[in-house]
Amino acid sequence: MANTEDLFKKVIAHAKEYGFVFQSSEIYDGLSAVYDYAQNGSELKKNIRDYWWKSMVQMHENIVGIDSAIFMHPTVWKASGHVDAFNDPMIDNKDSKKRYRADVLIEDYISKLESKIEKEVTKAAKRFGDSFDKAQFLETNPRVIANRDKIEKIKSVLYPAMDNDDMAAIKSLIENAGIVCPISGSKNWTEVRQFNLMFSTQMGSTAEGANEIFLRPETAQGIFVNYLNVQKTGRMKIPFGIAQTGKAFRNEIVARQFIFRMREFEQMEMQFFVRPGEEMKWYDYWKEQRMNWHTSLGIPADKFRFHDHEKLAHYANAAADIEFKFPMGFKELEGIHSRTDFDLSAHEEHSGKKLRYHDPEINESYVPYVVETSIGLDRMFLAILSNSYTEEQIEEGNTRVVMKLPPVLAPYKAAIFPLTKKDGLPEKGREIMEKLKMDYMCFYEEKDAIGKRYRRHDAIGTPYCVTVDHQTLEDNTVTIRERDSMKQERISIDEISGVISQRLKG
Ligand code: GAP
């Protein structure tokens, strides 16, 4: 398999060539960090969303789903803290004219120092062999100590500066560390400025009466403001959850890496309302549940890891990311946050409405605490796509690209091919298609040699290809070819649906 940078390029090219993802408005040269899902991509995306919904809502009797509007009352975003605090510090390089997130420049610098420490350890481990004592080495090696001290010093300035909006301190860190622009190589930086990530627009028929409103930067607030309505109308008892999927918008300063960081994206979020004091139990529960969900798709467990946050957002008392090994390295895929009663209390305060729960078991009223699970659908799409992309040598000098998608997520579950275009084979193929398409997304194709048709469906991840040949007309059997093993079996037409359904359950 190609190196990781090559792999990423190949996945992006494949996504376009095989109708998964297109750049938005491509005929106008595209729009930065905005993408469209094409015919196969929209099926894959829908299947990921359905798989999430099924496991979160259908499988949990105490979780219900909603679909709230993208536009919300502007005060929602004041209460949630997004108007005042949903900012990233940005800095421009005057020579390259490139814009960066100032905190990311510093964090990248910290990562460099950390890899220097790792390199020292690897070198020493080689030199000392079995007698190497890593703990002692880390405590005593002067270069390691110097770099660790540097990291600690930077962190001790960076985190408070971020909390206190101290842009001058962040700029000094960049200058003192001698960080250069990766494009121009120069240290010719502007001042650091705060940049709010919310998109705003006007609502109202006249400019005078217009009200500034925001495109939601997360779906979670639609859940918080509906908490009481859902609790009362659904007669929900704590602990219970509300889930939703939908678009979110962020004016990201640095939006790159294909669909990993976009300005318009989709989230799948669930807020779990619990009794105060029990949030850590549920936080641990949801961390485990969500990791199990990822591995249930058959992706190797070593491609995931937890990253527990050291620095917590002002509303959280615990937070972790589930990171996935994307082609560009381990990166955040999902967040699990214990958000305390921050959001509901803030909405109580700003709306003047009580958002409480009367707990009959302890005969007390309280503002529930919330544990949230929040995953980006597009990031999950990228994780699935890059994990499934496989180049295989199938025979001497012959390779195939196969998307080893989990069958439950594949855009098409089966492709139906008459071996030739004559002798009544297409009619028989159509008959099978008509039957199967009631239950599964299927694809019917007569054009090109059978081998070419197999390759096309390998490339979009179709788990089964069903071929109708002359024997079919005699005994109602077909060959069914399994995507990954390429093994073919002869089965009766009546068995096709059972084979597919068995595989989807697996
Ligand atoms: N309600 C909590 C929340 O929104 P977040 O960590 O900001 O938390 C949750 O976002 C998830 O949304 C992330 O783990 C990521 O998968 C996805 N996400 C965030 N920003 C994104 C972007 N610009 N493009 C694509 N996905 C994004």
Task: Say how many Å lie between the CA of residue 70 and the centre of ligand 1.
Answer: 16
Instruction: Identify the domain boundary among 172, 196, 220.
Output: 196
Residue 306 lies in a domain: yes
- Inside any domain, residue 336: yes
Confidence of residue 232 (pLDDT cuts 50, 70, 90): very high
Domain of residue 463, CATH code: 3.40.50.800
**Does residue 82 lie within any of the structural domains?**
no
Does residue 496 register a pLDDT over 80? yes
pLDDT at position 297, please?
94
In this structure, the answer to whether residues 346 and 492 fall within a common structural domain is no
Report residue 421 as tokens.
């275009």
Same domain, yes or no: 271 and 306: yes
Answer whether residue 105 is part of any domain. yes
Within a domain: 67: yes
Beta strands at 193-196 and 87-92: parallel, antiparallel or unpaired: antiparallel
CATH number of domain containing 182: 3.30.40.230
pLDDT of 3 higher than 90? no
Using DSSP's 3-state secondary structure scheme, residue 141 falls into coil
Please check whether residues 151 and 122 belong to one and the same domain: yes
Which of 402, 432, 448 represents a domain boundary (last residue)? 402
Residue 156 CA to residue 165 CA, distance in Å, equals 14
Question: How far apart are the CA of 333 and the centre of ligand 1, in A?
Answer: 8
Average pLDDT value for the chain:
94
Residue 106 has what pLDDT? 95
180-226 pLDDT, tens digit per residue, is 999 999 999 999 999 999 999 998 866 666 688 999 999 999 999 99
**Mean pLDDT value of segment 375-402:** 93
Please give the distance, rounded to the nearest whole angstrom, from the Cα atom of residue 245 to the centre of ligand 1.
Answer: 12
Over the stretch 462-490, which tens digit does the pLDDT of each residue have?
Answer: 999 999 999 999 999 999 999 999 999 99
Tell me, yes or no, whether 106 and 26 share the same domain. no
Looking at residue 188, its pLDDT comes to: 96
Q: Are 439 and 497 in contact (CB under 8 A)?
A: yes
The answer to whether residue 53 sits within a structural domain is yes
In-domain check, residue 407: no
Rg over alpha carbons for the chain, rounded to the nearest Å, is: 27
What's the rounded mean pLDDT across residues 289-299?
A: 96
How far is it, in rounded angstroms, from Cα 437 to Cα 221?
39
User: From the CA of 307, how far away is ligand 1's center (Å)?
Assistant: 15
Question: Same domain, yes or no, for 93 and 184?
Answer: yes
- The residues lining ligand 1, judged by C-beta closer than 6 Å to any ligand atom, are 218, 220, 250, 252, 261-262, 265, 267, 269, 332-335, 372, 374-376, 378-379
Residues 182, 96, single domain; the answer is yes
Q: For residue 262, what are its two tokens?
A: 């976009």
Instruction: Return the pLDDT at 117.
Output: 94
Per-residue pLDDT at 171 exceeds 80: yes
Cβ atoms of 21 and 42 closer than 8 Å? no
Instruction: Decide if 102 is inside a domain.
Output: yes
Residues 172 and 306 placed together within one structural domain of the fold = no
Residues 49 and 100 in one domain: no
pLDDT at 112 over 70: yes
Give the residue, by CA position, lying nearest to ligand 1 atom 22.
Answer: 261
pLDDT in tens, 427-462: 999 999 999 999 999 999 999 999 999 999 999 999
Residues 370 and 285 in one domain: yes
Q: Are residues 285 and 354 in the same domain?
A: yes
CA 65, chain centre distance (Å): 19
3-state secondary structure of 118: helix
- As for how many domains the chain has, the answer is 3
**Residues 188 and 292 occupy one common structural domain:** no
Which residue, 335, 368, 402, sits at the end of a domain?
Answer: 402
- Protein residue closest via CA to atom 14 of ligand 1: 334
Q: Which domain holds residue 459?
A: 412-505
Helices (H), 247-297: 279-295
pLDDT surpassing 80 at residue 329? yes
Mean pLDDT throughout 56-71?
97
Q: How many CB atoms lie within 10 A of CB 118?
A: 11
- Ligand 1 atom 4: the closest Cα is on which residue? 218
Are residues 242 and 97 part of one domain? no
What share of the chain in percent tops pLDDT 70?
A: 98
For residue 355, what is the domain's CATH number?
3.30.930.10
User: Which tokens sit at 487?
Assistant: 């093994």
